[in-house]
Amino acid sequence: GLVDASPQPVQSNDQDLFEPDQPEHLNGHQHGIKPCPAQAIADLYHQVLPELPAVALLNDTRRRHLQARWREHEAHRSLDFWRELFETVKASPFLMGNVPGRN
């Protein structure tokens, strides 16, 4: 069957969900969740993965995406989580782009 992929209106009871089009959520506290340290996460990325392309600009879109992941799960709200994630990427030849593609 067909799937309706058109944007759906936000219900009033969906206030707890991350709404990427609302910049006031970028640095605000919400329900006891500390703000996402986007710059610190980018700094960790550069520290652990200097071989990969650098984050040249930490714009609002990137900050919103990091904030969404930060709020997605309690385990993501720690710089230790992000360091481990980047170290996992570094340990994977595939994720580092060092595996030849299929022909």
Domain spans, the chain:
34-91
Quick: pLDDT tens for 84-94: 999 999 999 99
pLDDT for res 101: 72
Question: pLDDT tens digit string along 45-102?
Answer: 999 999 999 999 999 999 999 999 999 999 999 999 999 999 999 999 999 999 887 7
- Is residue 18 scored above 60 in pLDDT? no
Q: Collect all residues with Cβ–Cβ distance below 8 Å to 64 and sequence separation of at least 6.
A: 18, 20, 23, 25, 26
Residues 5 and 17: their CA atoms lie apart, in Å, by 19
